[in-house]
Each structure stands twice: as C-alpha cells, then as structure tokens.
Structure 1
Amino acid sequence: MKTIITFIIVFGVLVIVHEFGHFFFAKRSGILVREFAIGMGPKIVAHQAKDGTTYTLRLLPIGGYVRMAGMGEEETELSPGMPLSVELNEEGVVTKINTSKKVQLTNSIPMELVRHDLEDELTISGFVNGDESEAMTYPVLHEATIIEADGTEVRIAPRDVQFQSAKLWQRMLTNFAGPMNNFILAIVLFIILAFMRGGVSVTNTNQLGEIQPNGVAEKAGLKKEDKVVSINGEKITDWNELATVISENPEKELDFIIDRKGEEFSISVTPRAEKSGKQSVGKLDIAVPMKTGLTDKIFGGVTQAFDSSLTIFKALGSLLTGFSLNKLGGPVMMFQMSSQAASEGITTIIAFMAMLSMNLGIMNLLPIPALDGGKLVLNIFEGVRGKPLSQEKEGILTFVGFGLLMVLMVLVTWNDIQRFFF
C-alpha cells in the first residue's frame, strides 16, 4: 500500500506540475483551456469556474491533462442527425448545448442537429421537437457551454480563443512551459534535499566527512577532515576513488597514507563487510564531507539538478550508440523504483521525484511528434516558413508519433515485466 501511494503521489505531482505549466501560459496567451483534469478516466466531480475552465477530478489517480481550444483531438464530436437539446437566454441566444443522456435541462429545447458552426458563425441549426418541415437556426453565445456525453460541461471553442489564434511566441512558450515546470520542480526538490540532509556533498575532495561513533574508521584512528593521500600505494584524489577502493575490499586490510593538518602518516584499516544484494561491499562508517552554508545548499541543489540532466543526456547518448530496451523503463520500472524509495524514507522519495521530474522534462523536449519537443519543432518550422503546417498534415504527424510512442511503451512495459517478474 505504501508503494502504491508513493507511486500515485510521485507520478501525479510530476504530471500535474507539467500540465499546470501548459495551463498557466495558455491562459496568459488568451487560449481557452476548456478543461484541467486531475486524474484520468471517468469523471468523479467537475466544477466550471468563471475563467471558462472546467476543473475535473477523475477516477484513475495517475496524472492529469489540459484541454486547450483548437487542439483537434480534444473537441466534442457533433454530427448531423444527432439528438441534443439547447438552452436559450431571454434574447433567444443559445447558452448551453446538451449532448448527454445523463443530464436533463429543464428549460431546454430538444433538437435533431442539422448543421453547426461553433468556431466562426457561432450558430446551430436543427429540427425542433421532431418537426422536420423546417430547420431552426439559433445564434450561439461566445461563452456558451456544451455538455458532453459523460456529463462534463465545458466551454465551446470559438476561433479567436483557439490555440492557433495565439501569436507564435505565445504558442511556443505554452508548449515549452510543461517541461520548464518540470525543470523548476526538479531544482526546487534538489534544494529541499540539500536542506533536509544538512548540506551538500563534496565529492571532488579526498577529505573525510563525519566519522560514525564506534565505527571502523573511528576505531582505526581516522578523524574528520583527514585527507586520504593513498591506499595501498594507489593515489586518491576524490571521494569517488576512495569509495570505490573501500567498497571493493570488504574485510581486507588496507594501508592508508593520511594527511592530518600537513603531517603524513600510515594507518591500517580493514573495511567491514555489508551485504548489498547478492554481494558484500566494504564499509568504513564515514560520511561524505558536506558544505552547510545557506548559499552552499541553494547552489548545491541547482548544481545537483544540472548534474542529473547530464546523466540523462549521457543515457540518451548511449541509446543512440547502442539501443536496448533494457536501457529504458516504463510504468513497471517506475513502480519498482517507487517501492524501493518508499522503503528508504522521505529523502529518497524526494530524490526519486526530483530525478524523474528532470527526466520527464528532458524526454518531453525530444523532437518527436506528439511530444512537446515535436510541437516546438513545428513552431520553429512555422517561423522559418512564414505559415503553419496544415492541420491535416500536423494531425498525421502527431498520430504517427503517438502510435510509435505507444508501440515503444508496450515493448518497454513487457520487457520490464519479464525483467522483474520472470
């Protein structure tokens, strides 16, 4: 249960923060956000706010999404012959269009749809009360709403508030805002981690940090701020080299050359053995030296976020030079990592979330249709060309990109299942 809750919270926060980026800058650009959903699947509750956005909570507690006007796959499907009802104001203008069998409007007019234009003309025509002798045409209010089949009420999408009606730079910023929010979240989480841990680890030094009481290092005579010059004649320049030598030599006596305040001397130390998976590793019961100043923690969190991005770029580079499904992970791997993080405590969960947030931001900027990076490529193409790609061609590219991503996701998920359960 702890793993499930951790997985839902981590994945949910990452996606909601990502989608809020799109939502915020779409609003600032005059683009109508028809729905902001928390969760996926069937609607549980919905509230239409005065800003024109319908906020919904959905059944499956993973992720969320925003529906922006003009994004074709998010529009309500209306077709000739479709039964619906309309609600009029005192001036005879349509304020609501009901397509749902779940919702009944008390003062509505039943209609069989003949034609509609909810983008430019803002009109709707149909046969009223079963009278097919003449189609009645009604003007539609610019801020009218439409009740969809599942009962969700959202605003219609006139052309002036659609995504494509915004300026190019506004659309680019709206597309980039999701990944940008993930980068910001990662930086904030890494800074929080630095404060929770009391400082930032310094790994580019051979100096020792805190010495655990009654541990191997203390019993051998090692002290905080000692510098390890060499081990068994092998020069030590940073913490990673020190940690590697220690971990590779459990229960083996090692000859340390120590520099303590400018004086060098030799100490024999035998790392204790500790189980790590199926093998034993050496431990000295020493901590990495830390910088504990306020600016050190803030700058260290930013640096750690940057380092994590470099790690992700290196992983992407290794995919290009030698592709393997084992280098990728899907929801199953995320669940496994959530389980491990949940068992290790809140700091590990935050570190896991920070790394995933950076990962999500970078992956979404890949120039693949259906991802934010693919949309930005189309924006740049439009800027160079002077006009956008036709909606039909853009739709085809998005469909192909989405299809390829789904195929890859299925393959990665199946590979994860085989790795973890068979």
Structure 2
Amino acid sequence: MIHNPGFLLTVLAFVAVIGPLVFVHELGHYLVGRWCGVKAEAFSIGFGPELFAWVDKRGTRWRVATLPLGGYVRFKGDMNAASMTDPAWLELPAAERAQSFPSKPLWQRAAIVAAGPAINFLFAILILAGFAIAYGESRTPPVAGKVEAGSAAAAAGILPKDRIISLDGREIATFDQIKDFTSIRPNRQISAVIERNGARFERQITLGVMPLKDRFGNTHHLGVLGLYNANPIVVSVDFWRAPAVAVRQIGRIIRDMVETLKQIVLGMRSVKELGGPLKIAQISGQMASLGIEGFIFFAALISINLGFINLLPIPMLDGGHLLFYGIEAVQRKPVSERVQEWAYKSGLAVLLTMMVLVTFNDLSSFGLWKSLSGLIG
C-alpha cells in the first residue's frame, strides 16, 4: 500500500520542481537581455526577504528569497519586479541609458519578454523528447478492439473493429487521442465519425463519467467512451525525430488546457478544479514518492503550464507585456503611462483574486474547511 508522502518530502519535491523551472524561465529573460545589451540589475529566485545573495562582476545581484513561488529579472530602467518602466531612465547618462531596457528597439524588448515562456517550452521539449527516445511513441490505430457493455460507445452502436475517424470534427489518428479527447469532456455530447467496412457514418454520443480516485485519495471525474484497443503498437523514435514528437505532445497538452479553461469559463466545469501552489506541492510530493521518471514527467507538465500561463494577455505577466508591444507596433508609439498603470493595477487585482481562489480550492481539497466546520459544530 502506498501512503501519502510526508511533509518534508512534499516540501523538498515542490522546491525541486518550482525552483529549477523558475530559474530556467528567468534565465531566458536574462540571456536574451544580455544578448541585446541590457544590464540586469537583479536576478531573483523567489519573492520577499533574501535568504542569501551575491553580486557578480557585471553588477547583477543574484538573490534567493524566502517565497519560492516565482522570480524576476529587473533590468536597468525597470521600476520594479513587474518590469514597469521607470521614468527616470531618461535622466541616466548616455552610456547607462544605452544599457537600459526601455531604450531598446521594440523587437528586442519583445524577444527578451518572450524568451521566458519560450525556454520553459524548450525545457519540456527536451524532457519529452528523452521520454520518446527511451519509451517510443504510441501508434495504436483508433480501432475498437472491445466495446464495454452499457458504455457510451455501446449506446451509440459502435462495434468491435469500427474505426474512429474524428470526434467533434477533430481528426483521430491514434487510439491514445480518443482517450485524450474524451477524458476532459465528462458527460458531454459529441459527434463521432465512424468507419465500418469502408463505409462512414456519424453518431451523436453522450460520454460517460468515471469518478477516478487515485492512490493518494484525490478524486477526478473523467469522460469515458467505453472502447478498448486490441493490439497496442509502440514504435521506436529516432534521435532526430524525437523533438517533433515532443512538440506534437506539447501541442495536445496545450489544446487540452485551453479546452479545460473554456469549460470552466462557460460553467461546464467547476472552478473548484483550479489548483494552486499548495496543490502543486502536494502532487510534487506524490510524484516524487512514485519514482524519478514520474517526477521528471510532472516537471515537464509544470514547465508547459508555466510557459502557457505567462503568455496569457494579463498585465504583469509576459503575455501582458507582449500585448502592449503589439499595440505599440500597430499605433507606432508606446501605450500611455496612465493606461499602463491602470492595466498593471487591474492585472495585479486579477492575479491576487486568482491566487486567493486557487488557495481556497487547495485548502478545500485538503479537507480543511470540513475539519473546521466539524470543530465549530
């Protein structure tokens, strides 16, 4: 029997996941900034009071802070960790002004900002490519080997040897794609194009719901079709082809993330499914207790999430900066300081609200509120 990991393992695993990923993200900003001739005044892993720090020969203060929930690179000309422009940069001596972030051409500023999420995706590509080389790629055709009695597939009249051509208009090439598509759509009605003996027809299918309780006590509701494959096929992946396999996998993961967020926004999923740092910490410990391979794969998933979230067009995130640069490119002048200030304050409010929400969800999933209500009652 596998038990939940202890508190120490959970903390260590969380730091082992978040620390390197934050470092990699900020390193992307830092390296491209250096390439563009921008001086980095501070490189911080974490927020809050410093645990320790040092200053390198270029004058960059490298610091490790107490709260390992993020990080930042503060370039010359930045007012704060959110990279808001300090109006005083115009008063700097010419040599220092040339090293400031705001003095650089639009394309360089955009490249510096985009480098953080980009290196997170590159990090995930390297991990997933390694897994593809080690374990191969699933190429099992989307053909029903067995149809579960009473399942959504059986209700739709799907028979063994039927081939799934598409689901809701999305072409299905492998059996794994059926699971990927259906698992995030519990109780949803979908359209399926099916091929039988060379003839194609369409069916409307209402997916089933399978509550899945993992070995750690977490319950998930998955959408199920009720098909089983007959002959799993896994092919080896050459070194040169592995990155393309990884990129396709990341594309599918991001597509599922977008679909899940859309379902939450439209009320098709509960906001209670959103997790935050505490949930990541819990799962980090759980994955670490299962072995190094699962833990590394989990790190790749978190890296993808980190890159994706940072590209959302919310001020204070990289995506918000890129949005401003896009507007600047169109109107041929920067967004006004007043608009930027308003946007950053709004973005901060959104991020704080989301942090409170996901923390509430995390504590709820741990049973804290139920325990408190029991004590009060």
TM-score after normalising by structure 1: 0.62
Q: Considering only aligned residues, what root-mean-square deviation do their CA atoms show, in Å?
A: 3.5
Letter in 2 for 1:304: Q
Q: In the superposition, relative to structure 1, how do residues 348 and 160 fare at CA in structure 2: closer, same or farther (>3 Å)?
A: same
Q: Please list the CA deviations of residues 355-414 of structure 1 after superposition, one character each: whole Å capped at 9, or x if unmatched.
A: 111111111111111111111111111111121123343122112211221112112211
- Higher gyration radius (CA): 1
* 1:200 and 1:296 in contact (8 A); partners too: no
Report the Cα distance in structure 1 between the residues aligned to 2:16 and 2:231, rounded to whole angstroms.
Answer: 31
The equivalent of 2:344 in structure 1 is 398
TM-score after normalising by structure 2: 0.68
Counterparts of residues 214-293 of structure 1 (less than 5 Å): 229-230=145-146, 234-235=160-161, 237=163, 239=175, 288-293=232-237
Structure 2, unmatched stretches of 5+, are 1-7, 149-158, 164-173, 181-211, 220-225, 371-377
Residues 1:40 and 2:35 aligned together:
no
How many matched pairs? Answer: 296
Select the residue among 127, 139, 162 that pairs with 1:202: 139
Report the Cα distance in structure 2 between the residues aligned to 1:409 and 1:287, rounded to whole angstroms.
Answer: 45
Select the residue among 326, 336, 342 that pairs with 2:272: 326
Report the Cα distance in structure 2 between the residues aligned to 1:236 and 1:50, rounded to whole angstroms.
Answer: 67
Q: CA deviation at 1:240?
A: 5.0
Q: CA deviation at 1:309?
A: 1.6
The equivalent of 2:257 in structure 1 is 312
Counterparts of residues 7-406 of structure 1 (less than 5 Å): 7-74=14-81, 119=89, 158-196=96-134, 198-205=135-142, 229-230=145-146, 234-235=160-161, 237=163, 239=175, 288-294=232-238, 295=240, 297-322=242-267, 324-406=270-352
Letter in 1 for 2:266: T
Larger relative helix fraction: 2
Structure 1, unmatched stretches of 5+, are 76-116, 123-140, 144-157, 207-227, 245-273
What SS is found at the alignment partner of 1:44? strand
* 1:199 and 1:291 in contact (8 A); partners too: yes
* 1:200 and 1:297 in contact (8 A); partners too: no
Letter in 2 for 1:420: F
* 2:133 and 2:237 in contact (8 A); partners too: no
Query: Percent same amino acid at aligned positions?
Result: 34
Report the Cα distance in structure 1 between the residues aligned to 2:231 and 2:30, rounded to whole angstroms.
Answer: 43
Q: CA deviation at 1:55?
A: 1.7
The equivalent of 2:222 in structure 1 is none
* 2:288 and 2:294 in contact (8 A); partners too: yes
Larger relative strand fraction: 1
Q: CA deviation at 1:243?
A: 8.6
Report the Cα distance in structure 1 between the residues aligned to 2:333 and 2:246, rounded to whole angstroms.
Answer: 42
Report the Cα distance in structure 1 between the residues aligned to 2:11 and 2:178, rounded to whole angstroms.
Answer: 37
Q: Please list the CA deviations of residues 35-80 of structure 1 after superposition, one character each: whole Å capped at 9, or x if unmatched.
A: 11233332233322222312223344554321112221259xxxxx
> Does 52-61 or 232-241 show the bigger shift?
232-241
